[in-house]
Amino acid sequence: MSPGQDPGLEPGVIDELMAVARDAATAAAGLIRAATGDQDDRPAVASTKSSPTDVVTAMDRAIERHLREHLAKVRPQDGVLGEEEDGLRAGSSGLTWVLDPIDGTVNYLYRIPVYSVSVAVVAGDPRVPGAWTPVAGCVVSVETGETWTAGLGRGSAVDGRPLSIRTDPDGPRELSQALVATGFGYRAERRAEQARVFAALAPVIRDIRRIGSASLDLCMVAAGQVDLYYERGVNVWDMAAAALVVIEAGGVVTGLAGRPLGERTVLAGEPGLCARLAEALVAAGADDFAEDREAARGG
Ligand code: LIP
């Protein structure tokens, strides 16, 4: 199963799932705003994950707990996978909710007003690249309130305004004219490799934007605020909802060099331009990190 593949759900069911995603993400964003207000001090860090800079705040955990409790009431038959609580809670429906309580956690920590709540529901197993397809999703930019929604075959919108990548006659046709968003990982070794790729890419694109939230990067692709996005190591909860926003706006969201979404590098944008980005990324060595060679050796 892959993004865009039809899991055979009725349009009415998808519309219902869209409403659940939207209501859950909107309520969660409201809780963050109410708790954060105009505080200047940084939120409490509860722990770290893959590195000392990969932080989890108390708010991350509280919002995921709130989302899990809400979904257990309204969609008890579905599974749930979240960024902060270990493992997947299996369901019986074949659908799994994929939650990122705060996407852009470091921005939230530094009071940079660019972070989101991302709520998606997917068919298949979201832990396995290529084995899931997003069915409905919502991304809420917490500080601005912008609400991005999408449903499989039901289109995508921001604040109710339909999105369409393909109808932008002014969109760039060449990579040299493309504004490209990307991000960097929490581990220094990976950032060194990502910087190497970026150094090779920078001369052949218009410019780069490093927003700090994969879900908002992808939503900005759908809205034409950036032309392309790529990033290595993005988790399914960062991108499941926003990938559908892009796909339903006529874009593509895929892995690199024929790999499934969720394996190594994700890239997104208008189909033709995205293909040219993929070529440039492979030429820049984006699919040949030291960790890839180590994995190939069975390390
Ligand atoms: C973040 C992503 C971002 C990436 C950051 C981080 P988090 O997710 O949304 O694209 O560059 O390194 O992974 O950790 O804020 O949920």
Q: Which of 81-85, 198-202, 234-238 has the lowest mean pLDDT?
A: 81-85
The atom of ligand 1 lying closest to the CA of 217 is 10
Contacts of residue 170, Cβ cutoff 8 Å, sequence gap at least 6: none
201 — pLDDT class (breaks 50, 70, 90): very high
Residue 258 DSSP class: T
- Assess whether pLDDT exceeds 90 at residue 210: yes
Question: For residue 25, how far is its CA from the centre of ligand 1 (angstroms)?
Answer: 18
**Contact between residue 91 and residue 80 where contact means Cβ atoms under 8 Å apart:** yes
Query: What is the C-alpha to C-alpha distance for residues 43 and 34, in angstroms, rounded to an integer?
Result: 13
Q: For the chain, how big is the Rg over CA atoms in Å?
A: 18
Residue carrying structure tokens 């493309």: 178
How sure is the predictor about 269, in pLDDT bands with cuts at 50, 70 and 90?
Answer: very high
pLDDT band at 168 (very low <50, low <70, confident <90, very high): low
Q: At what angle do helices 236-248 and 214-222 cross, to 10 degrees?
A: 0
Helix, strand, coil shares of the chain as percentages rounded to 5? 35, 25, 40
Contacts of 162 (CB under 8 A, 6+ apart): 155, 156
The pLDDT of residue 239: 98
State the Cα angle at 123 between 240 and 79, rounded to 5°.
90
- What is the average pLDDT across 184-209? 96
| pLDDT for residue 6 is more than 80 | no
| % the chain with pLDDT above 90 | 80
Residue 241 has pLDDT above 90, yes or no: yes
Give the pLDDT band (50/70/90) at residue 10: confident
Please indicate whether residue 1 or residue 233 has the higher confidence score (pLDDT): 233
46 or 75, which is more confident: 75
pLDDT recorded at residue 265: 97
Six-digit token string for 51: 């590195």
Q: Which atom of ligand 1 is nearest to the CA of 212?
A: 3
How far, in Å, from the CA of 104 to the mean position of ligand 1?
A: 5
Q: What pLDDT does 84 receive?
A: 86
pLDDT at position 89: 93
Q: How far is the C-alpha of 190 from the C-alpha of 53, rounded, in Å?
A: 13
Tens of pLDDT, residue by residue over 87-97, are 899 999 999 99
Q: Per residue in 17-30, pLDDT tens? A: 999 999 999 999 99
According to DSSP, the residues that pair with 157 across neighbouring strands are 149, 162
Distance (Å) from CA 253 to ligand 1 centroid: 17
pLDDT grade, residue 282 (50/70/90)?
A: very high
For β-strands 88-89 and 79-82, DSSP reports them as antiparallel
Helices (H) and strands (E) in the chain, counts: 8, 15
234-256: average pLDDT = 97
Distance from C-alpha of 256 to C-alpha of 108, rounded to nearest angstrom:
29
With 0-12 / 13-18 / 19 or more C-beta atoms within 10 angstroms meaning exposed / middle / buried, residue 19 is middle
- Ligand 1 lining (C-beta closer than 6 Å): 83, 100, 103-106, 183-186, 212-214, 231, 238
Give the pLDDT band (50/70/90) at residue 261: very high
Average pLDDT of the residues of the chain: 94
Which among 54, 238, 265, 266 is the best mutation to test ligand 1's pocket, defined by most ligand atoms within 8 Å of the CB? 238
Q: Which secondary structure element, helix H or strand E, spans residue 170, and what is its range? A: none
Alpha carbon of 212 to ligand 1 centroid (Å):
6
Q: Give per-residue pLDDT as tens, 124-152.
A: 999 999 999 999 999 999 999 999 999 99
Nearest residue by C-alpha to atom 11 in ligand 1: 183
Residue 282, both tokens: 């492979």
pLDDT confidence of residue 42 = 84
- CA-closest candidate to residue 122, choices 148, 93, 102: 93
pLDDT surpassing 80 at residue 38: no
Residue 213 Cα to ligand 1 midpoint, Å, equals: 5
Residue 7, pLDDT above cutoff 90: no
214 CA from centroid of ligand 1 (Å): 6
State which of 105, 186, 190 you would mutate to test the pocket of ligand 1, scoring each by most atoms of that ligand within 8 A of its C-beta: 105
Distances (CA, A) of 104 to 207, 210, 272: 21, 11, 29
Q: What is the C-alpha to C-alpha distance for residues 235 and 90, in angstroms, rounded to an integer? A: 19
